Structure 1
């Protein structure tokens, strides 16, 4: 592969780059919160990338440059002409700009006459005449070009909202009109979908959508990790979905299968296609049965993304007779054998190839320079060298290009020197150099996500990372911008190569010695740890990775030696020995069914923010007073052996104490009444509780006090029987 000759700038200057598919022009006061707002959401649901400007323009201010660029870089401008549209000089200026590009190839203007007569718009009568009379009083010099723009747009065929049909029906018609106009055009869902047009066209041919046959087709998208299988499937899905009565995109099936399971996938698929309540699908057999019966008469489009076992396909999209005539099932996978096992013939499989030389260059330039070409000759040479290492893999190019965005030539040269030290490294080595450009704290976030939080809810990960002092509001945003993570429906996702890279960093050059790793995420690795644990700073084990019945107990002594731990999340596990110590560096401790009767006496975690010991064996959390100034949440739900709450005098910032179901609890320590930030105290079903401090009833911070089920306490306080 050669990158020695680059296309000239003139060859790319004529190439049109669409940033948006639709630009919405509207009078905010008239339709922002009703018609236009609903139209915008409908376009988004259909996967149409839409620009909607919600910013109020101060009187007299000119249209912002980014608004002008959005108009020029949109394929379709939808102009919602309402009664007060012409009152706004800003709207009229915007319309003039739209008319300046109306005749450019590929550009479309679609007017929507919202309770106005097109002839009134075209000839400035009625409300439009009144508006122009006011403009005339202000002696505006723009009146002639405003009138010309209105006349031009009002003369186009458009949609009418006049009360003869429901607005929801009209919105559906507009969305259908837009999708039909876009169906032969390249989707601009992202700025870096380089080379996707030809791939989309080739795959759509396999779909054979124009066939008169009503056959059900299963098709495969095959390729190596990071080559763009999912991207291709999503673009095709958005381009063709209007052909089908029901659609569903099942994202990263292998990951969901290992986590929530196939039931959740059945729930999503049946809800999105035929509206079945997820509560009706409580186990795999029920989901499979409903799949095989409810979609038989429905022309359906389903994308089953990242499949890694034949069993997943069999239970999700088992047989052609499950689906109505004309249905299409698209499967993305790395494993050709899975497709063959499911009867997807070779001529129905599209194998995604690596980028061509020209495409690889264009993608790198878009990521690194936000343009289609290098800015000068020196950068041309540097991009040529850099592409030698990327091996035309889109993921590697995106990540490496993003890491060098806005960087000087010296930084590029330094990056190339790093690469030259390992000239034969595969993509993993290329990705690793991009991680080296992150700030140390962002590197920690990257590795934590790779080891612990990939596939988890973003808010959950943010909370824990924040407790660890990593400032995730900035860090996660940086990782996202650098293409190291993506967030889909509130969930963090990371490409498998990047996840493996993060875990490689955590192993720190000692792949066979877990005691020297910075993070531990598998039970077997923690079990192998005996001594020399000074490098371990975080352990997160997931319920699905722990089979207590088949695994030997862990050594509590090894955990006692981990003095740098900042994070522990444990499911229920067996431990042998005595827990003599816990790291004072802990910031978040969650341990289900904590097996010991109390925390170590030497445990003084001054930076601990949350302490979660649900269903624990705790009898007394700690003896005496402990200074824990950062501790905000204590959750001991279901700890049936707990007799008394500890002295909380040193936990001055405690906001929430959850003792629900602590059926052995007899007494709440008097110190709780002096907590000035406590907002929630849950004593629900503490049925042996005898008393609580009177000072609690005088607290000005306490917002929630749950006492249902505290039978003895209710009698002593003369509350009667609580519900």
Structure 2
């Protein structure tokens, strides 16, 4: 194997590019030319040598794929005949790596298996297994099985769908120089920073990805709108991070509302051109900026995010027409004002994700010091939202916001009632609640009583159920009367001091966070916890009476962390998944 040098400061075993190829198929000429072009450009390259015996280092090589930014399988006629190559390709797909396939002397149809070329190679592997030849040297007995061949087949079909490059009549040097430029452009795209702990965002991300449909060949605009603080920018960042490597050029223009007022639209146009072209261009006015954008983007597949747009003119000068961009380009617009998305042109995608109706609440866990920064950001964002309210709403907001806990509210009540505002209206959980709160996403009901009087409380859109510090027990009627849907992500039972045994979790199969902290009487967690296949976080800190976790916890492969007290010397844990971390509070 060979490792190319780098000018990017990549450390340890992480590489920018992983080359996978059939040695005797492509080594003489093409692979060496590509490797030379990439390393000469300062790209850190891992080039596996398929000619070497498949010894114990194969697992290290497969782990290297995980640490590589981009994977390039060079798909040649003999590629599928190599189990080693197929294992590398499967690892790329299963890790959801950024894959740029090169179709060396095959077509995408060959790789997707309609033709006999790769299919015949897979059949050959299957015959070897049936004939009992066993796995190759270095592959354990569980590999090279019939199920493994099925995984290889699925990976080939998947990679055949990827946007790749076909080597036709172009010279090796010209082709490899073009690939190198593309890789350099993709490596320059900086991933957007998002919070580590995001709960309940998967549905939103999938909804946007479905609207974008990056496999379609049209130029598509998608708008995300909603009031300030609902997570529009975070959602756009997550989507941007997922898609950057599928495009020839990417640009994320943040906080356009503020940037355009402070620096003008020209600077945003200049940044967009620089992001796409890689070099700063002179933009004297907005019209010249439009010309530069068209010149740089017309023949490229572009991913562009216009964040926090507040005027339609901003869209017109940054992404005014679909013909400014190459086939397959995608433009995402986030805004608090739906009116900026209203247009008589057909450019904007009809399926706008309406956050006011669609967005799920998500939870971020932050330490104290970062919280100070977040609070400052939130304060500024709320000020912008406040400034956009009408005068009557502003007065109501200030009346509410200026209350101090435990202070008399009598005078304000008189004022509100005189203004036909009814602050004394409250909600009573009593009687038949069918179809009453079907749109509720977050129920925070601290100190809820042991006597639950409501029936048929159907909450199909609930994401967070917080019953902290309540007098409920495992016999509480609410467990049977509160019906949650497939969107529940968080169940918080912190400080429920009468809870000695958790409820049956069978109806909460989509849970990602289960918080049982400070349930001092808790002695048993119901075995149905084994059905929570999406559970990522379990908090049992302060559960002084709990002595063990049920054995079913061992089957929770998605579980990333268990929070418990460090002083629990006699606490029994089942065999946990390798990815599960124990975080002890000492």
Q: TM-score, normalized by length of structure 1?
A: 0.30
Taking CA–CA contacts closer than 8 Å with sequence separation of 6 or more, which of the two structures ends up with the larger relative contact order? 2
Query: Whose radius of gyration is greater, 1 or 2?
Result: 1
